[in-house]
Structure 1
Amino acid sequence: MATAEQESDSAYAELLDRERRISNVENAGMILYWDQQTKMPEGGTPARAKQLSALQSIGHELLTDERTGELLDELESEDLDDERAAVVREVRRKYDRAVSVPSDLVEKISETTSEAQPAWQRAKAEDEFETFAPYLERLRELHIERAEHIAPDEDPYEVMFEDGEPYLPLERVDEIFDELREGLVPLIEDIEENGADIAADAFAGTFDPADQEALCRDALDLLNYDWDRGRLDIAPHPFMSGTQFDARVTTRFHEDEFVDPIFSTIHEFGHATYQLGLRDDAYGTPLGQSRSSGIHESQSRFWENHVGRTEAFWEFFLPTVTEHFPEFDDVTAEDAYEAANQVFTDNLIRVEADELTYHMHIILRSEIEQEFVAGDLDVDDIPARWNELMDEYLGVRPDTDSEGCLQDIHWTSGFASFQNYTVGSVFAAQLWATIEEELDDPMELIREGDFAPIRDWLTENIHEQGQKYTTDELIEEATGEPLTAEYFLDYATEKYGEIYELD
């Protein structure tokens, strides 16, 4: 007869097997999504929508099977070690949410999402919001229905937010937004009114996208991107897709933009570094999966801003730039640093925004989608509301919807995810402050192109932890204190005060 310990081991092994199968189905869907955004011919959408819907349905059925619930019940009555308890906690959370949602609704959401993405691409290319509006309205209806199945007594928007950030209350995020408004708006105004002239046009010109791509590939080489487990492709909206064995980076190029593709590539490299830093031996389980959307964004914003936007990085990287673009031979590292960190409120595009005004873009989107999900904003009124808030927060109005409410792909997949970009920026600054205390002169490491100690620290303290800890626990484990906007505001005030020579 099996002992209680043996039965627990058997139940845990069976639960892991189920979780790995579910993860493999999800990862297969992720590759199909990557293909849809990068390689698939435009006419492939009807079949791809059905394929992704089928995979979503299979994964949902595996997760919500009665046996999954029985295994969870059995294991939750056991005295488990920390790692096993974390796995059971995370699978339980997914199970409880999934079992509440009918399979046919899961299929409808997946199919509508797949159909919405090319509709968004057409709408953006043709500057016709009305092409995308019906899909956006349908997605709102479907996601609200899903949220009501999961937690009928909660605000649907909060339920949606918990999909990507389950352990950080939306109320705390709203408090951080208030702190950022209070600290950043006066700083931005001070820069506009009193800031010194900087080398904003150091990289002006027009550029061959093929040459830009070659430079971005070299940037990934210098950052030690693992090409055996990744690749670089072009997508309408940059993203990273993958696992610890295959983390693919995408970017985009514009003939009149030089710096933005570099930072887009470094940003997605940060996401890939997180994926590649997850434990190989825990693949397909919560211990081998990233903690949350906000933590993921902290890694991309860390590499983009606390590494890529430093003068030390440009001292290291500028010789590579001039190899590809000799016309910049007279640009100094200080010039490049200033050009990479110019603050401009008249920029309409979020992914091209500077570190400070970026968060006004995020706040704008969060407010609009909360109003939309709550039913306080009709879909046809989104363009006008967008333009109104752009004028209020940044003093500029887009001339087209392509530059306005159609610029992001995110609403094709749902709502309540934009906050995580700001959560990521705030935590990235907190991580940098901790790294400055624990590593010997990390800025000198960047100057020398020795990124391994910084990456290894992040891997040990963030990546390899997977989902062992909840979000708040992971933040405290890594930095010794809860999430706070203090470090980001101090960093921003000091950095931009020096660049713009503010009193």
Structure 2
Amino acid sequence: MSADAYATLCEQYEHVSNIQHARGVLSWDQQVTMPEDGTPARTAQLSALSTVAHDALTNDIIADTLETLRANSDSLSSDQKATVREIRRKHERATAVPESLIAEMSETASEALPVWESAKADDDFDAFAPYLQRHVELNREYADCIDSTRDPYAVLLEEFEPYLSLDHVESVLRTIRETLVPLIDEIRASETTLATDAFTTQGTYSSANQEALCRDVLTTLGYPWERGRLDTAPHPFSMGTSFDARVTTRFDETDPLGSVFSTIHEFGHASYTLGLSDDAYATPLGEDRDLSVHESQSRLWENHVGRSRAFWDVLLSQMNEHFPQTDSLSVREAYEAANQVYEDNLIRVNADELTYHLHVLIRYEIERALIDGDIDVAEVPAIWNNKYEEYLGIQPETDAEGCLQDIHWSHGNIGYFPTYSLGSAMAAQLYTAAEESIADLDGKIAAGSFDELREWLRRNVHQHGARYQTDELIKQATGSSFTADAFVSYVSKKYASLYSLDQEFHTPL
């Protein structure tokens, strides 16, 4: 009985998964190649697929098989129990939400995307505000459907990180904030001068050559082109499956570092997706363990590899081939430029490794206040600007470089932003474990050899899919539960060295 029920459950879930993957491809197309006037049809298509997927996930067959398996759970293997756990969680959340609400959330997101793009281009927050307001209302309604007795933001966070409690999340964010604020202050007070303008004073960098460089970097890191592609998008992202994981980037002809690090970041996401088991495709064991872990992979490759001194032995020589004006730069100068701590950067995706998290905290605090009803959407630009002044000592002159800069709220993704900082903390913990396991990892990176690191991540993180809950996965990979301790140690050591600081001041308690 349980074997038949389990087979039926997997067959039903495979149908759901394939619908969702098809929806992902349409979403990718909307952001990358769709004609400008294609929005009305795409809105209807995405809404239809959302409705079909919701119907399939909440149907009586899945409900009945889950009940059968609940009564016969002792006969299931550990992998089967994990599969049932994940499908049950998704089924129960979906069942709690009316189909009409799912359709409206999808329609609003599809309609909001082009409005956000034009509002950002025109510096017109008022044009986007009604869509943000509707997203806030729909997200509140969504959270209320799932559990009206709980903090609605905690319920929304679970869409992106279901197995770390809000208390755990806030504890990690608090540790990061309490570490970075004094560290950044000390860096800014430091008399050490880095080669911050190493690239920005070398003329312009054509988009075509930047794309060629990014393709070379992806090849060096081990991106399998037969299962991926590189395109451009207003906001870089990655999407796909273990068979097809695509990355995007964008170009600024005054500075090539933005496109290089965006590309490496998205490579980390794609590497995780491609490292999932082909055999488990369209099952929870062939799906990622949610966004905190996903972000750990992108931040690990972007920061621990891409911004490392060792990697610049490889990257600078590649850069020289595409941009001869960089021939005069030393590896040390390039490394310093890539790791400077900015005093005046307003854009999150262009932020340095430390102030990046203050950008994230600002978004987290604003979206939580919106969901809690503590602020109105109309207040967002002013509150955003005030928080930038308080946290970073700067204020945007326009909403385009302020509260309109990120794509996430146009998608209605509220609860997403904390996963960026959670992922960075996980990346440090995972990379520390990888360093302990792989002999002379720095030397291998400097030689352009990434096979062992990719294999370590595949074996310890990727191949498990959603088999383990978040903390269990990190403990399996590193031997310890998830904390921010490794991140604190990593940034303290690295930036004390870069800026000649008193390292004892930054040693974690």
CA offsets, 1:181-203, max 9 Å, x none? Answer: 21111111111111411111111
Q: What are the superposed Cα offsets for residues 279-302 of structure 1, whole Å, 9 maximum, x if unpaired?
A: 000000000000010000000000
Aligned to 2:164: 168
- Which residue of structure 1 lines up, in the alignment, with residue 34 of structure 2? 40
Are 1:187 and 2:186 an aligned pair?
A: no
1:43 maps to a residue whose letter is D
* 2:226 corresponds to 1:228: yes
What residue in structure 2 maps to residue 74 of structure 1? 68
Q: Aligned partners of 2:172, 2:317: CA distance in 1, in Å?
A: 39
> Could you say which residue in structure 2 is the equivalent of 1:54?
48
Residue pair 2:46, 2:106 contacting (<8 A) in 1 also: yes
State the alpha-carbon separation in 2 of the partners of residues 365 and 427 from structure 1: 20
Provide the secondary structure at the position in 2 that maps to 1:164: coil
AA aligned to 2:291 is S
What are the Cα deviations for residues 222-242 of structure 1, in whole angstroms up to 9, with x where unaligned?
111010000000000000010
**What's 1:397 paired with?**
395
Report the equivalent of 1:409. 407
Match of 2:386 in 1: 388
Q: Does 1:155 align with 2:151?
A: yes
CA–CA distance in structure 2, aligned partners of residues 485 and 206 of structure 1: 39
Distance 1:136 1:67 in 2: 36
Determine the structure 1 residue equivalent to 2:8.
14
Report what 1:481 is aligned to.
480
Q: How does 1:60-139 map to 2 (within 5 A)?
A: 60-78=54-72, 79=74, 80-139=76-135
Structure 1 stretches of 4+ moved >6 Å: none
Contact 2:173–2:422 under 8 Å retained in 1: no
Q: Amino acid of the residue matched to residue 144 of structure 2?
A: E
Asked whether the equivalents of residues 195 and 502 of structure 1 are also in contact (C-alpha less than 8 Å), the reply is no
CA distance in 2, matches of 1:86, 1:395: 47
Deviations 1:388-443 (A, max 9, x none): 00000000000000000000000122201100000000000001111111110111
Q: State whether residues 109 and 411 of structure 2, in contact with CA within 8 Å, keep that contact through their aligned partners in structure 1.
A: yes
What percent of counterpart residues are identical?
A: 53
For 1:138 and 1:194, the matched residues in 2 are separated by 46
Residue 451 of structure 1 corresponds to 450
Partner in structure 2 of residue 499 of structure 1: 498
> Which one-letter code corresponds to 1:458 in the other structure?
L
Return 53-62 or 310-319, whichever deviates more.
310-319
Q: TM-score, normalised by structure 1?
A: 0.98
Gaps of 5+ in 2: 503-509
Deviation string, structure 1 residues 68-95 (Cα, Å, up to 9, x no partner): 1110011122211100000000000000
SS of equivalent to 1:473:
helix
CA–CA distance in structure 1, aligned partners of residues 99 and 315 of structure 2? 50
Structure 1 residue 345: deviation in Å?
2.8
Residues 236-284 of structure 1: CA deviation (Å, up to 9, x unaligned): 0000010000000000001112111100000000000000000000000
Alpha-carbon offset, residue 9 of structure 1:
1.6
| 3-state SS in 1 of match to 2:254 | coil
- Counterpart residue identity of residue 406, structure 1: L
Name the structure 2 match of 1:140: 136
3-state secondary structure, aligned to 1:200: coil
Number of equivalent positions = 497
Distance across 2 between alignment mates of 1:282 and 1:451:
25
Q: Which runs of 5+ in 1 are unaligned?
A: 1-6
Say if 2:24 and 2:240, in contact at 8 Å, map to a contact too.
yes
Mapped to 2, the partners of 1:358 and 1:410 lie a distance apart of 16
- SS in structure 2 opposite 1:242? strand
* 1:337 corresponds to which of 335, 338, 345: 335
Distance in 2 (CA, whole Å) between partners of 1:95 and 1:386 is 37
Could you tell me whether the CA contact under 8 Å between 1:209 and 1:254 is conserved in 2? Answer: yes
CA contact (8 A) 1:309 1:340 kept: yes
- CA shift for structure 1 position 22: 0.3
Correspondence 1:307-322 to 2 at 5 A: 307-322=305-320
Higher deviation after alignment, 313-322 or 297-306 = 313-322
Q: Secondary structure, in 3 states, of the residue corresponding to 1:163?
A: coil
What's the offset of the Cα at 1:376?
1.0
- Aligned partner of 2:505 in structure 1 is none
Work out whether residues 101 and 150 of structure 1, in 8 Å CA contact, stay in contact via their aligned partners in 2: yes
Tell me the CA shift for residue 23 of structure 1: 0.5
Distance 2:177 2:325 in 1: 40
Quick one: distance in 1 between partners of 2:426 and 2:485?
10
26-35 or 199-208, which deviates more: 199-208
Shift of 1:115: 0.3
Aligned to 1:326: 324
User: What amino acid maps onto 1:501 in structure 2?
Assistant: S
Question: What SS does the aligned partner of 2:44 have?
Answer: helix
Q: Which amino acid aligns with 1:35?
A: D
